[in-house]
Amino acid sequence: MTAETISLSMAEPDIAVLTFDTPKKGANVLSNSVLDELARHLDALEQRTDLSGLIFCSAKPGIFIAGADLREFVQSLGVAREQVIAMCRRGQVLFGRLAKMPFVTVAAINGICVGGGAELASWCDRRLFSNNRKAEFGFPEVKLGLFPGWGGTVRAPRIAGLGNAVEMVTGGESLSAETAYKMGWASDVVPDDQLLAAAIRLVRTEQTNQEYLNDRKRWTGPILITETELGFLGATASAVIRQQTKGQYPAPDAALETMLESSLLDADAACELEAARMAKLFGSPVNAALLNVFFLTDRNKKDTGIDGKQVEPRPINSVTVIGAGIMGSGIAAANVKRGIAVALTDASHESLVKGGRNVLEEASFDRETKGPNAQRMLELAPLLNLTTSEQEFAASDLVIEAVVENEKVKQSIYAQLESQLGPDTILASNTSTIPITKLAASLKRPDKFCGIHFFNPVRRMKLVEVIRGEKTSDETIATAVAYAKGVGKFPIVMNDGPGFLVNRLLFPYMHEAVELLCEGAEIKAIERASKSFGMPMGPIELYDLVGIDTAVYAGQTMFEAFPDRVISSALLPAMVQANRLGKKTGRGFYSYDNKKGRPEVDASLAEIIAPHIRKQRDFSLDELTMRLFLPMFLEATRVLEDEIVRDPRDIDLGLIFGLGFPPFKGGLMFWADTLGAATIVEMLKPFESLGDRMSPTKLLLEMAAGGEKFYK
């Protein structure tokens, strides 16, 4: 027998309370066994004649219900269409009972309430939110390639309005408690410690005025909307969805279509339509890929960074960031935002002042207003110390160096600083390419040194590479991993090596784009191939964003490390010579001389490229795609052979959250598994003339021979 998740208690003699508390778990999830429990409780409560109300609550601080049990979803991916419909109908009928009980039903939401949890709450007569900062409400199913299937597409339009529901369900973003209240989801937002008392009062109010019965009747019928209004909403929402998804994610379109059609039906018929439409999405390749992404992030949350050992990380309560430029101020802001005291320093007083301002603006950024929040800025200001005193910033638990990407400059800072650090202080570099072991060569305590590589822009990029040098201790790595998670990132631990993980896999992709240019491929064709595959921008535009001079420097590092397969093209140095460095100089492969700074075709580029074009021919979209992504994949197999990472899943997480690899493909190695190793070996044969960079690796050949997959 499994321990029960739902317990029954009585708030008052006629008001029952069902409390969710999944044993030994940090969150409540709606597994099949929990749904069975809920059904048993409802069976018993339905028979009682002495009840005025039923309140749902959670015993877990900051979490109401986090959604369905996705592991059960994965186990059901291959089931028949009829079984998918039955799964949906089970949840719809069970939750639908909450809107038919002979008493008021109230969801008292004390934190995260998403997915299946939001659907359960939606079937209740009323919802109350606490003012807990973690409180959020939403339907994120489109991020898994699905849409709500337990009545969410039916109840949401009827409670919050069709326009609001379309935006919520197709966008997949959660609402804050205050926004949910303004939208009509909640009766009130109350202090956390008064949530149950407020729910009891709400039951009494509804018991008296009987308004919930009017809403029950209204929410079971079709939605009152004119044909013109429905058509306009459909057209505008469809345009927004296609702009956001580029046609790569079918779930938002399917959700929109379902909600528009079901708005004209009564709730029962709308639920049947929802279940039928869900069956078309459940188990699709995109659904499977996005579920994989979810499990990649879930695995990362539990990963300590150390295999086979129990290593206790040291607490990080204060951080020093050396370098107040774009990266340094971004790192400092990530710390300040989460309440960690930061000392920020820079050799330039002007840069330090500017960086300090950027830190507070970034840390107080409000997603709803899309700008800094003045009140929040004042609250966070005491956490930031702008200083040039070595004694002040040497006293931190962690010191992160984020200065210019120059080995000698970095080592000179370490030499000056190390003797002043505390015995347990960790020193880290934000380097993106320079080997950690090389940087640590002159350190007296290399065991306390590692790489902690954030990605730009820090606020948006979730990945952090934690790089182990030859002498880095397990405690240092475990501490760095725990710290990165504490500032809201996904840390991946890797062994030392040129380019580490993301940049090592990025350069073959970018270099191949330049080779294609020199073989006569058109820029727009290369960019189209990349974006059609699902990348957020093409490799040519990425060169301009990174900076072509930066790419030349980093490319030289990779060429020195892997001369057998890295092409050292003369085109990029020629671009640098012409001061076409990319977006930062207004010209690179594109021109940015427009008000919005967007990339535009630049006719003057032709004279720079012309001397470097070796031949001219047409390329098919498929050939361009394979030329761009197969070198990246082959380098990933070498990363596994070199034991840079511990698991292929680290590669996939790293590329999705550090490079923008399309989530709907599940990750580079997940995508490769969908093709099969033997198929990829065949795909490489037409490119044999290109040399080692397109030759199958030993690992790939062994996997092809054995029919193996990267995801075991």
Residue 563's pLDDT is 87
**Predicted confidence (pLDDT) at residue 244 exceeds the cutoff of 60:** yes
Q: What are phi and psi of 685, to 5 degrees?
A: -60, -40
Closest to 97 in 3D by CA, of 14, 204, 27, 18 = 18
pLDDT grade for 93, boundaries at 50, 70 and 90: very high
Could you read off the pLDDT of 508-560 as tens digits, one per residue? 999 999 999 999 999 999 999 999 999 999 999 999 998 999 888 888 888 88
Residue 393's pLDDT is 80
**Predicted confidence (pLDDT) at residue 695 exceeds the cutoff of 80:** yes
pLDDT grade for 142, boundaries at 50, 70 and 90: very high
Residue 453 designated active-site: yes
Structure tokens at 337: 């935002």
Could you read off the pLDDT of 463-509 as tens digits, one per residue? 999 999 999 999 999 999 999 999 999 999 999 998 899 999 999 99
**Predicted confidence (pLDDT) at residue 220 exceeds the cutoff of 50:** yes
The per-residue DSSP string of 9-61 comes to EEEETTEEEEEE--TT-SS--B-HHHHHHHHHHHHHHHT-SS-SEEEEEESST
Mean pLDDT of the region 433-440: 93
Query: What predicted TM-score, i.e. pTM, was given to this entire model?
Result: 0.92
Residues 344 and 336: their CA atoms lie apart, in Å, by 11
Mean pLDDT of the region 397-415: 94
Task: Write down the mean pLDDT value for the chain.
Answer: 95
Q: What are phi and psi of 374, to 5 degrees?
A: -60, -40
pLDDT grade for 367, boundaries at 50, 70 and 90: confident
Residue 567's pLDDT is 79
**Predicted confidence (pLDDT) at residue 1 exceeds the cutoff of 50:** no
Could you read off the pLDDT of 80-91 as tens digits, one per residue? 999 999 999 999
Evaluate whether 6-283 and 505-706 have a shared fold.
Answer: no
Residue 433 three-state SS: coil
Residues 546 and 342: their CA atoms lie apart, in Å, by 27
Mean pLDDT of the region 334-362: 95
**Predicted confidence (pLDDT) at residue 312 exceeds the cutoff of 70:** yes
Enter the CATH code of domain 318-496: 3.40.50.720
Residue 553's pLDDT is 83
Could you read off the pLDDT of 37-76 as tens digits, one per residue? 999 999 999 999 999 999 999 999 999 999 999 999 889 8
| β pairing state of 463-468 and 449-454 | antiparallel
Mean pLDDT of the region 597-621: 90
Residue 129 three-state SS: strand
Lowest-confidence pick of 101-105, 152-156, 486-490, 558-562: 558-562
**Predicted confidence (pLDDT) at residue 405 exceeds the cutoff of 90:** no
Fold of 505-706: N-(1-d-carboxylethyl)-l-norvaline Dehydrogenase; domain 2 (1.10.1040)
Closest to 167 in 3D by CA, of 177, 159, 157, 158 = 157
Cis peptide before 457 (omega within 30 of 0): yes
Residues 134 and 175: their CA atoms lie apart, in Å, by 11
**Predicted confidence (pLDDT) at residue 28 exceeds the cutoff of 90:** yes
Domain 6-283 falls under CATH 3.40.50.720: no
Mean pLDDT of the region 411-426: 94
Residue 369's pLDDT is 81
Residue 317 three-state SS: coil
Alpha-helical regions (H) of 425-464 = 436-439
The catalytically annotated residue of 41, 349, 453, 612 is: 453
The domains of the chain are located at 6-283, 318-496, 505-706
Closest to 508 in 3D by CA, of 635, 384, 358 = 635
pLDDT grade for 2, boundaries at 50, 70 and 90: low
Closest to 91 in 3D by CA, of 126, 66, 116 = 116
| Sequence-distant (≥ 6) Cβ neighbours of residue 121 within 8 angstroms | 56, 64, 65, 107, 109, 113, 127, 137
